[in-house]
């Protein structure tokens, strides 16, 4: 691997000017909902008002008779087709039972959005209500009704077979153990057990999902907000029984993702509507349906038990994590059918012995899916709150307890594997100085400031893994074109690739164009996600540039004529990076309102490719985490989402954002191009615990659930009399 | 539903349309005029992605009927750059990380344009008060504030919030 030194070309030292910047600031950038086709129809759904019910009958007479209605389909026509990223358990349209409020029973295609909605409202469905399971614990009872009795027949994508589960209402389950856990607890000076709960939240990208499907000869054309077009092509192929070669997916600018735009639920029925009407059909989700229809972050209940020696060193750890998976597992792409990091329950520490159990459970709630660093916001909140509680009880400074336990390269962590990644001690040292922790806490003590406290929390995130390839073409005029299947959901992927290729070739940026292609025009690509764009796809861009250099030999680009090379990358790293926060919180003694006065984030990012975008990922990740820490709660009552618009489901505004200092660790090269690591999912998960810990330091009240709201602090302070 | 003959200018170009009286401004801009730079987000007046200027005044196009602009002049994001020349604000949004996915950007730029007309040299508090109605899920707002400060001539200096006037993180 080329060292960092070579990477610090003048190109990488300059702040980037985003390739798509001009289009995005002039309104020229076209997003999926901006694209129209002649003769296009609009889709609307008939959805279940019950969390669990049998569909007795569906009467389409009135809907079909309405002028402007071109087609109405029910589950009878799409049966037995189901969709899903890994486990295809979600019927395109329900034909016998509906499993949550919002589950789809019929779909209309009509000339206008208004007619489609009116026709959907005119479909008469008779339901017979069934007992609903609204809580994972109830789902796990031995006598609980089985929500998916036909699970054995579901397609499981990606090769292999679906892992076995301990109860038919479990989507995915895992147990992992290392070291001698019982001996560890027996030797412990103290054993602490705490239970935490984490609310359901939504990614709240501001672009609702949109898709447009039409037939062109024997080709099926799909315009979509899905961030993984090749994966969507595969899902469509399997669900609809159509070869991938006939499906062309086009995913351009994507208006935010945060894990939520990997699951598509419209394109499948749009194909059927396009087939029966012979017209293009579009679905643009109303925002209220975004919040109610699918793919929330999993609500979770997490029990952590940890044994420590008198100095607070961790000797043994067990955990049990139960995620509310909702009605379908379709949103989860990973083999375990749990959120990706479901089992990382005490990340970032040396753990000589651990037994971790996690599961995602079927309920009659909105289906949960992936949300920025899946599994981590829940687990990091629990772990870092737990560590703080242990420190307090032992009378050890929260910083010191972490310094004693934090992982350093080669240490065994909660996974039972040696840690490859950030030197945790260096990270904490940097946080101590950058946040002026000692001064700040001494100050607060000396002036006896009431209601102000500093909270710290750390987090880890793996560097992305996987395979990708890209084509690099030299044009007759000596320009270079990188052809990629990566869509940009805001991270700045194309500018990353441009800068990598230009740096490696030693040519000006203007000489390198990055061209995004549809799935029929470029090599297979794994899509955006899993913290993989820079380390994996960026490595493919670098490999392409290196392959081109080799082909060129001593010749100049202008001399070789048209030429094409392929760059392939297989990133199998086990590296991870760490980050940590120190937050200063102020809690109003009367209202219990929390104000974050200042935040410091230290993050290990390796070599920086796009300095402006990197900073944006960390700042944006912090505020994303802050929203989920203090205000976001997708509240559900009797299976119905009651925060169904952005007025009720509050996300941070510019006025909610505190001053933030960001310090980077860049010396330790990562496995990505020129030593880069990942950043997109590095900053958000630990904010919840940092807030809870700061609130505890400020006012002596511990909140054991996310979000940490004034109401919870008030209730808790009344209860504990503090 | 009665129809209405609507006359207005869109980014300086006169338009004349026959529309149903209950059509929303956002739909007329996007569907009838094909000006898709303005985005539809929440649809209930919270997110600001649909922000436009009507006779220079900031309006959420998802909330008002299209007849509201009869006889008036409408500016959308497509009307900011003149003859292909970006405004200082547009350029600053690119340089300072004022956007990521870009879906909120048309609305942010329209709102910030109105801000700078009202307060050419806003301080941080004025920026935050004014821009509160424009949500962004990507940037955490720091880049947006930096961009507005730069465009106002404050040279990327804010009042110490965010990374303020610091340089972007360097490689060393
Ligand atoms: S779409 Fe108009 S304010 Fe959100
Ligand atoms: S840039 Fe994506 S929402 Fe603002």
| Residues A646, B96: C-beta atoms closer than 8 Å | no
Question: For residue B138, which atom of ligand 2 is closest to its CA?
Answer: 2
Per-residue pLDDT tens, chain B, 172 aa: give them: 689 999 999 999 999 999 999 999 999 999 999 999 999 999 999 999 999 999 999 999 999 999 999 999 999 999 999 999 999 999 999 999 999 999 999 999 999 999 999 999 999 999 999 999 999 999 999 999 999 999 998 654 444 443 333 333 333 2
Q: Please give the residue of chain B at the shortest CA–CA distance from A291.
A: B42
3-state SS, residue A123:
coil
Q: Please give the residue of chain A at the shortest CA–CA distance from B89.
A: A25
Question: How far away is chain B from the Cα of A524, in angstroms, using its nearest Cα?
Answer: 23
Percentage of chain A beyond pLDDT 90 is 95
Residue from A91, A107, A98, A101 nearest A44 by CA: A107
Residues of A in contact with B49 (CB under 8 A): 206
Question: For residue B46, which atom of ligand 1 is closest to its CA?
Answer: 3
What is the DSSP code (8-state) at residue A521? T
B45, B90, B138 member nearest A256 (Cβ): B138
Question: For residue A207, which atom of ligand 2 is closest to its CA?
Answer: 3
- Taking the C-alpha atoms of residue A390 and residue A406, their distance in angstroms, rounded to an integer, is 15
Ligand 1 atom 3 nearest Cα: B45
Question: How close is the Cα of B41 to the center of ligand 1, in Å?
Answer: 5
Substitution target in B33, B124, B140 with the highest count of A β-carbons within 10 Å is B140
pTM of the model: 0.96
| Residues B39, A611: C-beta atoms closer than 8 Å | no
Q: What does the pLDDT read at residue A293?
A: 83
What is the DSSP code (8-state) at residue A339? -
Per the structure block, which two tokens stand in for B125?
A: 């508090």
Q: What does the pLDDT read at residue A573?
A: 87
Cis peptide before B99 (omega within 30 of 0): no
Average pLDDT across chain A, whole number? 96
Residues of B in contact with A617 (CB under 8 A): 100
Instruction: Give residue-wise pLDDT tens across range A204-215.
Output: 999 999 999 999
What is the DSSP code (8-state) at residue A46? E
Question: How close is the Cα of B76 to the center of ligand 1, in Å?
Answer: 14
- In chain A, DSSP finds a helix count (H) and a strand count (E) of 20, 30
Residues of A in contact with B37 (CB under 8 A): 26-28
- Taking the C-alpha atoms of residue A185 and residue A162, their distance in angstroms, rounded to an integer, is 34
Over B10-63, what HEC string results?
A: ECCEEEEEEEECCCEHHHHHHHHCCCCCCCCCCCCCCCCCCEEEECCEEEECCC
B30, B41, B106 member nearest A287 (Cβ): B41
Ligand 2 contact via B99 beta carbon (within 6 Å): yes
The structure tokens 């860049």 sit at A666
The structure tokens 């979770």 sit at A300
Q: What does the pLDDT read at residue B2?
A: 85
Instruction: Give residue-wise pLDDT tens across range A415-449.
Output: 999 999 999 999 999 999 999 999 999 999 888 77
Q: What does the pLDDT read at residue B155?
A: 53
Q: What does the pLDDT read at residue B169?
A: 38
A203, A613, A647 member nearest B46 (Cβ): A647
CATH code of the domain made up of B3-79: 3.10.20.30
- Taking the C-alpha atoms of residue A570 and residue A519, their distance in angstroms, rounded to an integer, is 20
Ligand 1 lining (C-beta closer than 6 Å): B 40-43, 45-50, 60, 62
Per the structure block, which two tokens stand in for A64?
A: 């079909």
Q: Is A37 exposed, middle or buried (0-12, 13-18, 19+ CB in 10 A)?
A: middle
Residues of A in contact with B172 (CB under 8 A): 8, 666
Residue from A622, A600, A682 nearest A433 by CA: A600
3-state SS, residue A138:
helix
CA distances from A534 to A343, A486, A489, A500, A668 (A): 25, 11, 13, 10, 16
Cis peptide before A701 (omega within 30 of 0): no
CA distances from A281 to A61, A71, A170, A234, A272 (A): 22, 11, 36, 20, 10
Q: Please give the residue of chain B at the shortest CA–CA distance from A616.
A: B139
Instruction: Give residue-wise pLDDT tens across range A289-304.
Output: 999 988 999 999 999 9
Q: Which ligand is nearest to the CA of B52?
A: 1
Over A435-473, what HEC string results?
A: CCHHHHHHHHHHCCCCCEEEEEEEEEEECCCEEEEEEEE
- Taking the C-alpha atoms of residue A621 and residue A221, their distance in angstroms, rounded to an integer, is 34
What is the DSSP code (8-state) at residue A499? H
| CATH superfamily entry for domain B88-154 | [2Fe-2S]-binding domain (1.10.150.120)
Ligand 2 contact via A179 beta carbon (within 6 Å): no
What is the DSSP code (8-state) at residue A412? B
Residues of A in contact with B91 (CB under 8 A): 25
- Taking the C-alpha atoms of residue B41 and residue A286, their distance in angstroms, rounded to an integer, is 8
What is the DSSP code (8-state) at residue A716? H
Question: How close is the Cα of A17 to the center of ligand 1, in Å?
Answer: 29
Mutation to probe ligand 1, out of B62, B105, B131 (largest number of atoms < 8 A from CB):
B62
A8, A208, A617 member nearest B171 (Cβ): A8
Q: Which ligand is nearest to the CA of A489?
A: 2
- Taking the C-alpha atoms of residue B45 and residue A684, their distance in angstroms, rounded to an integer, is 27
Question: How close is the Cα of A657 to the center of ligand 2, in Å?
Answer: 15
Q: Please enumerate in sequence order all residues whose Cβ is within 8 A of that of A184, keeping only pairs 6 or more positions apart, or say none.
A: A307, A315, A316, A317, A352, A353
- Taking the C-alpha atoms of residue A338 and residue A172, their distance in angstroms, rounded to an integer, is 5
Question: Nearest 5 degrees, angle CA A65-CA B20-CA B40?
Answer: 90
Question: For residue B63, which atom of ligand 1 is closest to its CA?
Answer: 2
| Residues A646, B145: C-beta atoms closer than 8 Å | no
Q: Mutual orientation of helices B124-131 and B142-149 as an angle, nearest 10°? A: 120
- Taking the C-alpha atoms of residue A315 and residue A330, their distance in angstroms, rounded to an integer, is 38
Question: How close is the Cα of A34 to the center of ligand 1, in Å?
Answer: 16
Instruction: Please state the length of chain B.
Output: 172
Substitution target in A12, A16, A23, A24 with the highest count of B β-carbons within 10 Å is A24
- Comparison of pLDDT for A702 and A10, the residue scoring more: A702
Ligand 2 atom 3 nearest Cα: B136
Question: For residue B47, which atom of ligand 1 is closest to its CA?
Answer: 4
For chain B, what are the domain ranges?
A: 3-79, 88-154
CA distances from A418 to A223, A240, A429, A548, B25 (A): 44, 44, 22, 37, 59
Residue A722: band (very low, low, confident or very high) from pLDDT cuts 50, 70, 90? low
Contact (Cβ atoms closer than 8 angstroms) between residue A136 and residue A363: yes
Contact (Cβ atoms closer than 8 angstroms) between residue A142 and residue A131: no
Per the structure block, which two tokens stand in for A144?
A: 């609980």
A27, A204, A257 member nearest B37 (Cβ): A27
| Residues B103, A207: C-beta atoms closer than 8 Å | yes
Instruction: Say if strands A636-637 and A640-641 run parallel, antiparallel, or are unpaired.
Output: antiparallel
Substitution target in A13, A21, A25 with the highest count of B β-carbons within 10 Å is A25
Ligand 2 contact via B135 beta carbon (within 6 Å): no
Question: For residue B144, which atom of ligand 2 is closest to its CA?
Answer: 4
Q: What does the pLDDT read at residue A2?
A: 40
Q: Which ligand is nearest to the CA of B30?
A: 1
Which domains, from first to last, does chain A contain?
A: 4-30+464-571 (3.30.365.10), 37-132+203-293 (3.90.1170.50), 299-463+574-720 (3.30.365.10)
Residue from B25, B44, B51 nearest A646 by CA: B44
Q: What does the pLDDT read at residue B1?
A: 67
Residue A8: band (very low, low, confident or very high) from pLDDT cuts 50, 70, 90? low
- Taking the C-alpha atoms of residue A193 and residue A200, their distance in angstroms, rounded to an integer, is 23
Q: What does the pLDDT read at residue A648?
A: 94
Q: What does the pLDDT read at residue A448?
A: 79
Q: Which ligand is nearest to the CA of A287?
A: 1
Ligand 2 contact via B104 beta carbon (within 6 Å): yes
| Residues A646, B97: C-beta atoms closer than 8 Å | no
Ligand 2 contact via B42 beta carbon (within 6 Å): no
Residue B52 sits at φ, ψ, to 5 deg, of -140, 170
A15, A25, A651 member nearest B168 (Cβ): A15
Instruction: Give residue-wise pLDDT tens across range A583-639.
Output: 999 999 999 999 999 999 999 999 999 999 999 999 999 999 999 999 999 999 999
Instruction: Give residue-wise pLDDT tens across range A528-562.
Output: 999 999 999 999 999 999 999 999 999 999 988 89
A205, A492, A622 member nearest B140 (Cβ): A622
- Taking the C-alpha atoms of residue A205 and residue A257, their distance in angstroms, rounded to an integer, is 6
Percentage of chain A beyond pLDDT 70 is 99
Per the structure block, which two tokens stand in for A351?
A: 């753990």
Question: Nearest 5 degrees, angle CA A365-CA A367-CA A371?
Answer: 125
Mean pLDDT of A125-135: 97
């Amino acid at each position: 691997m080329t060292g960092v030194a070579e990477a610090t070309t003048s190109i990488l030292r300059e702040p980037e000017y985003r390739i798509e910047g001009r289009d995005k600031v002039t309104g020229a950038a076209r997003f999926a909902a901006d694209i129209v086709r002649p003769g296009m129809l609009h889709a609307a759904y008939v959805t279940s008002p019950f969390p669990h019910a049998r569909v007795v009958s569906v009467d389409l007479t009135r809907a079909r008779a309405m002028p402007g209605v071109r087609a109405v389909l029910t589950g009878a026509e799409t049966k037995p087709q189901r969709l899903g990223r890994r486990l295809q358990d979600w019927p395109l349209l329900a034909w016998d039972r509906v499993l949550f409020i919002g589950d789809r029973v019929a779909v209309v295609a009509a000339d206008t959005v208004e007619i489609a909605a009116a026709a959907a409202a005119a479909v008469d469905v008779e339901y017979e209500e069934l007992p609903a399971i609204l809580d994972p614990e109830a789902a796990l009872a031995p006598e609980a009704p089985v929500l998916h009795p036909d699970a054995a027949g579901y397609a499981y994508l990606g090769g292999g077979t679906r892992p076995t589960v301990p109860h038919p209402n479990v989507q995915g389950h895992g147990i992992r153990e290392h070291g001698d856990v019982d001996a560890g607890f027996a030797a412990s000076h103290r054993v602490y057990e705490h239970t935490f709960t984490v609310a359901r939240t939504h990614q709240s990208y501001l672009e609702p999902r949109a898709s447009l499907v039409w037939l062109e000869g024997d080709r099926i054309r799909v315009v979509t907000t899905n961030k993984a077009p090749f994966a969507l092509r595969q899902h469509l192929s399997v669900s609809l029984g159509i070869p991938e070669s006939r499906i062309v997916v086009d995913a351009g600018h994507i208006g935010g993702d945060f894990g939520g735009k990997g699951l598509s639920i419209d394109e499948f029925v749009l194909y059927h509507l396009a087939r029966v009407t012979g017209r293009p059909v579009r679905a643009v989700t109303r925002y209220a349906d975004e919040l109610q229809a699918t793919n929330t972050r999993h609500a979770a209940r997490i029990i952590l038990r940890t044994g420590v020696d008198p100095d607070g060193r961790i000797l043994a750890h067990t955990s049990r994590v139960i995620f509310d998976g909702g009605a379908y597992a379709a949103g989860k792409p990973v083999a375990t059918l749990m959120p990706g990091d479901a089992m990382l329950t005490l990340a970032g520490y040396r753990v000589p012995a651990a037994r971790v159990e996690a599961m995602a459970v079927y309920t009659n709630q909105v289906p949960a899916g992936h949300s920025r660093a899946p599994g981590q916001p829940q687990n990091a909140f629990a772990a870092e709150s737990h560590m703080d509680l242990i420190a307090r009880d032992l009378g050890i400074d929260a910083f010191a307890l972490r310094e004693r336990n934090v992982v350093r390269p080669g240490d065994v962590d909660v996974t039972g594997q040696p840690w490859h990644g950030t030197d945790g001690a260096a990270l904490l040292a940097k946080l101590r100085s950058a946040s002026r922790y000692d001064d700040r806490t001494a100050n607060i003590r000396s002036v006896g400031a009431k209601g102000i406290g500093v909270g710290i929390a750390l987090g880890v995130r793996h560097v992305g893994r996987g395979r990708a390839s890209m084509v690099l073409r030299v044009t007759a005029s000596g320009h270079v074109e990188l052809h990629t299947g990566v869509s940009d959901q805001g991270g700045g992927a194309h500018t990353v690739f441009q800068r990598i290729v230009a740096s490696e070739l030693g040519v000006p940026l203007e000489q390198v164009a990055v061209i995004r292609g549809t799935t029929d025009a470029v090599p297979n690509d794994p899509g955006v996600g899993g913290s993989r764009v820079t380390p994996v796809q960026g490595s493919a861009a670098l490999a392409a540039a290196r392959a081109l250099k080799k082909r060129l030999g001593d010749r100049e680009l202008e001399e070789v004529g048209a030429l094409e090379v392929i760059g392939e990358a297989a990133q199998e790293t086990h590296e991870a990076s760490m980050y940590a926060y120190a937050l200063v919180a102020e809690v109003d003694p009367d209202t219990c309102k929390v104000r974050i006065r200042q935040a410091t984030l230290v993050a290990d990012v390796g070599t920086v490719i796009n300095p402006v975008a990197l900073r944006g990922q960390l700042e944006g990740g912090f505020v994303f985490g802050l929203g989920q820490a203090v205000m976001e709660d997708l509240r559900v009552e009797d299976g119905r989402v009651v925060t169904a618009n952005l007025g009720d489901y509050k996300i941070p505004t510019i006025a909610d954002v505190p001053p933030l200092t960001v310090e980077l660790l860049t010396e330790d090269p990562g496995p990505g191009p020129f030593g880069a690591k990942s950043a997109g999912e590095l900053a958000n998960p630990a904010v919840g615990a940092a807030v809870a810990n700061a609130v505890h330091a400020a006012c002596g009240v511990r909140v054991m659930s996310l979000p940490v709201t004034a109401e919870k602090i008030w209730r808790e302070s009344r209860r504990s009399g503090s | 539903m009665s129809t209405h003959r609507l006359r207005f200018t869109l980014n300086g170009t006169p338009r004349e349309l026959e529309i149903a009286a209950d059509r929303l401004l956002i739909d007329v801009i996007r569907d009838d005029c094909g000006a898709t730079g303005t985005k539809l987000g929440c649809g209930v007046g919270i997110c600001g992605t649909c922000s436009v200027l009507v006779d220079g005044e900031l309006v959420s196009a998802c909330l008002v009927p299209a007849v509201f602009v009869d006889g008036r002049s409408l500016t959308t994001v497509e009307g900011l750059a003149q003859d292909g020349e970006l405004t200082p604000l547009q350029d600053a949004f690119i340089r300072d990380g004022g956007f990521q996915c870009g879906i909120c950007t048309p609305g942010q730029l329209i709102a910030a344009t109105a801000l700078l007309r009202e307060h050419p040299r806003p301080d941080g508090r004025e920026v935050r008060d004014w821009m509160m109605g424009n949500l962004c899920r990507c940037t955490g707002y720091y880049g947006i504030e930096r961009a507005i400060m730069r465009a106002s001539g404050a040279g990327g200096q804010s009042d110490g919030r965010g990374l303020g006037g610091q340089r972007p993180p360097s490689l060393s």
